[in-house]
Each structure stands twice: as structure tokens, then as C-alpha cells.
Amino acid sequence: GQSLEQPSEVTAVEGAIVQINCTYQTSGFYGLSWYQQHDGGAPTFLSYNGLDGLEETGRFSSFLSRSDSYGYLLLQELQMKDSASYFCAVRDKGNFNKFYFGSGTKLNVKP
């Protein structure tokens, strides 16, 4: 089976840096994705790690360590619009098009 753990809620101030962690236990792992979801909105893709290391996309970066079954999403120069829920999702090794989503981390950005 698949199990993902994320903190339920994180609070940070505008302009700061925040890290959202994701640990997973899986029977077959291929990669880790991150999605953002604003209240009442649809999840939107942020980043994907297929290999160990850091992937950078603008203010957002994502990191993966396969040996530690661990990844994180790093958000820099936080803006109010970053207030949203962030989900990590494990890509299944047996079915490359299948993802298991974590329960999400609600990020509150304060002025």
C-alpha cells in the first residue's frame, strides 16, 4: 500500500521562506509530484521529482531523497496568494499514470 505524511498546517509571514515536508511509505515508487489547491479551486501542478535532488521553478523548489523516502517543497519570497493547500503525490511504479495524494498541508501566509 501507499502512505504519505505531511504536516496539516503551516503558518509563515509574507516574504519569508517555508518548507513543506512529505514522507512516504510505498510498495513501488517512481516519483513525487507537488500540487497547489486554493480553497474552492482545482489542484494545479507545481513540480515533479523523478530523481534525487533539487528541482527549481521560479520561487518554488522541490527536493527528493529516495533513500530517505522523503521530499519537500520550498517556497521562497512568500506572497499572500501562496495561501493554499499543498499536496505531495507519489507516482506508482507499477502504473506510471497513477498517483497517490497526501492529505495536504494548509499554508497560511500572514502580512
Partner 1 sequence: EAGVAQSPRYKIIEKRQSVAFWCNPISGHATLYWYQQILGQGPKLLIQFQNNGVVDDSQLPKDRFSAERLKGVDSTLKIQPAKLEDSAVYLCASSRSGGAENTQYFGPGTRLTVL
Distance in Å, CB of 15 to partner 1, minimum: 28
Q: Are 27 and 17 in contact (CB under 8 A)?
A: no
How many CA atoms are closer than 13 Å to the CA of 96, on its beta-carbon side? 1
* Residue with smaller CB distance to partner 1, 15 or 28: 28
Least separation in angstroms between residue 99's CB and partner 1 is: 7
* 64 contacts 52 by C-beta, under 8 angstroms: yes
What is the contact surface with partner 1 in residues (CB under 8 A)? 4, 31, 33, 35, 41-45, 48, 50, 87, 89, 91, 95-104
